[in-house]
Amino acid sequence: MKKLLAGILAATTLTVAAQQTQKPPLHGKNWMAITGKPLAATAGSMVFQQGGNAVDAACAMLAATCTMWDVLSWGGETQALIYNPRTQKVIAINAMGVAPTGATPEFFKAKGMNYPPEFGPLAATTPGTPGGLCFMLAEYGTLSLKEVLAPAMNLAAGYPIEAQTANSIERNKERIKQWPYSKQVFLTHAGPGREAPEAGEIFKQEDLLNTLRKMVEAEQQALKSGKDRKQAIYAAYDRFYKGDIADEFVRGVQEQGGLITKADLANWKPIAEEPLHVNYKGIDVYKLQQWTQGPVLLQALNILENFDLKTMGYNSARYIHTLYQAMNLSFADRDFYYGDPAFSPVSPIKGLLSKDYAKLRAAQIRFDKNDANAGPGDPYPFEGKTNPYLSLLKSRGYSINDTSRTRGGFMPTHDSRQTAFNSEAEALYQDRLWRGTTSVEAADKDGWVVSITPSGGWLPACIAGKTGVGMSQRMQSFVLDSAQNPFNVVAPGKRPRVTLTPSLAMKDGKPWLSFAVQGGDTQDQNLLQFFLNMAEFGMTVQEATEAANINTNQLWLSLGGNKEADRKPRPGHLLLQSSTPEWVRKELRAMGYTLSFEERTSGPINAIWFDRKHGSFWGGSSNHGEDYGIGW
């Protein structure tokens, strides 16, 4: 009997370990290239085959995805983490644009707005992606800009457009018609019926191609004059931000009612900064600074480290409840404390990432029901300071650092009002919650690793003049009232607190996992669970990308909607995967959750896992979209 039982258990273990995935895992020993479009992954592979390193390939994929409008364009923003094997350090790249001259709370309030707008010229920060790409390539790449932009320029000259992008153009054509340069580029069949390109049609972008040619011309002229590779790439950078490309970009912005000036472009620059990180059970997890939502994942890991998640069981009711509560506490801190650290006041990030603060937050979790009143804590004592916003928090009804199981009043009354959502409103809310971006993951045999979450300028995008460059829409992530978040109030030259959040994890001083995901406020929710799927439950990287996620709606939305009611938290609203067992649903409903279900509950996750035992790469690219990878 014991032998039979042992055999059954062994067979069960084998079955779990060999679980079939909908997409095969990727394998490689020389390099790995993964991103949001198959053709863009091909661009990365082309650059690798030319002898480029992971930074070169990542820049090629970034350029290609922007050119293909993979929910971003060239006028958007780029956030990256790079592992440099020479220094054995993780570098954070901040290529987020800034609010332009004249972008003040008073300006937007005078127009009757509660937030900067979702679309159009007034939604635009300065473009960050061209500068971010040039900066990464010049400082950490090996190839020329001409070589790295060649695939993107080929695509701009004409490529067979996919159904996803073509149909997005058609759905958004009425808004696109408001902007003359966007209309010229996107609506290739003006008139009755379908006006967007058809799937498979050769989509040409002559203005964008001309812009990219100008950048390459500047580089090549600099090389001919005796400049070195790095200086030549920065000559291309200067032509975009200070030369004739900048002139046309600014003219096109201002003609359509935007604020960006030539000085705004010239004064902006990308930044290499220190990443933030925490250690979770021997794994160092790296994120960008608190001008992104990335520290949410780090805070959540610190909280969850206080619980035995593995014993709870993957996606059991108790596990889901614990995740939900930890995420809510972390997002509540994000919603009040995160913002651009280059501006005063500076977020108390040391306290927010303190292990002792996390223990206090963990003690606030109640296990009998959802805490609809979970709100921000007070991290200041954990960095030896006094919170200057206690009176503001208390005036809003928050009860700070209270570990009472019966506490209440964490959320101000206007936040906790319940609204009846019809199906149209629900669809719009979910679109804002998940609103996309893309991701780029690359690694090579020499040890370079790159994780990028670029975004901005998604469809429907307003194109700036004859540049072919779609403007960012990231201004909408600012707030206009310090009562909501004193660290993220719009100001000229300031970066908004964004959802964009690439990730790198190190183990024993070496890269262990590189990962990122498409989405808005769901990004660090999805990535937290993806990481735990591997770190706690032993899933392979492909299994983890496809595994069921949960989503919390108990947070302030970062994107979309110009009314407070469009963005306010929805306590207890929980999205589950459709196959969630009935007994789990029953337990969660008993805890006070309002459940909804989808077949797929995360954006497309892309990741690379480093197999130290065999000296190879495992790539994962989820089955949730067009994302694709190539390894060799």
Q: How confident is the model at residue 420 (pLDDT cuts 50, 70, 90)?
A: very low
Q: How many CA atoms lie within 13 A of 290 on its CB side?
A: 26
Average pLDDT over residues 122-144: 98
Amino acid at 404: S
pLDDT for res 414: 28
pTM value surpassing 0.75: yes
Least confident of 452-456, 460-464, 517-521: 517-521
Which of 271, 398, 253 lies closest to 340 in space, CA to CA?
271
Q: How confident is the model at residue 399 (pLDDT cuts 50, 70, 90)?
A: confident
pLDDT for res 472: 97
Instruction: Give the model confidence (pLDDT) of 483-495 as tens digits.
Output: 999 999 999 999 9
pLDDT for res 516: 97
pLDDT for res 7: 35
**Alpha-carbon span 296 to 352, nearest angstrom:** 9
Average pLDDT over residues 275-299: 98
**Alpha-carbon span 508 to 531, nearest angstrom:** 17
Amino acid at 270: P
**Alpha-carbon span 237 to 145, nearest angstrom:** 10
**Alpha-carbon span 323 to 54, nearest angstrom:** 34
Instruction: Give the model confidence (pLDDT) of 190-238 as tens digits.
Output: 888 999 999 999 999 999 999 999 999 999 999 999 999 999 999 999 9
Amino acid at 416: S
Average pLDDT over residues 253-270: 98
Cβ 114 vs Cβ 562: under 8 Å: yes
pLDDT for res 514: 98
**Alpha-carbon span 632 to 622, nearest angstrom:** 19
User: Which residues are CB-neighbours of 544 under 8 A, at least 6 positions away?
Assistant: 530, 533, 534, 605, 607, 620
| Angle at CA of residue 130, ends 128 and 133, nearest 5° | 100
pLDDT above 90: percentage of residues in the chain: 84
Instruction: Give the model confidence (pLDDT) of 369-390 as tens digits.
Output: 999 989 999 999 999 999 999 9
The Cα-based distances of 397 to 336, 393, 485, 492 in angstroms read 14, 7, 15, 31
Top pLDDT among 500 and 414 is at 500
Average pLDDT over residues 446-461: 96
**Alpha-carbon span 220 to 222, nearest angstrom:** 5
Average pLDDT over residues 332-337: 98
Answer yes or no: is pLDDT of 573 > 60: yes
Structure-block tokens of residue 467:
């540049």
Bridge partner residues of 510 (DSSP): 507
Top pLDDT among 62 and 400 is at 62
pLDDT for res 13: 33
Cis status of the peptide bond prior to 345, with omega within 30 of 0: yes
Cβ 391 vs Cβ 413: under 8 Å: no
Place of tokens 């040409």: 204
**Alpha-carbon span 41 to 33, nearest angstrom:** 6
pLDDT for res 624: 80
Answer yes or no: is pLDDT of 68 > 60: yes
Which of 357, 316, 292, 360 lies closest to 536 in space, CA to CA?
316
DSSP states of 209-227: HHHHHHHHHHHHHHHHTT-
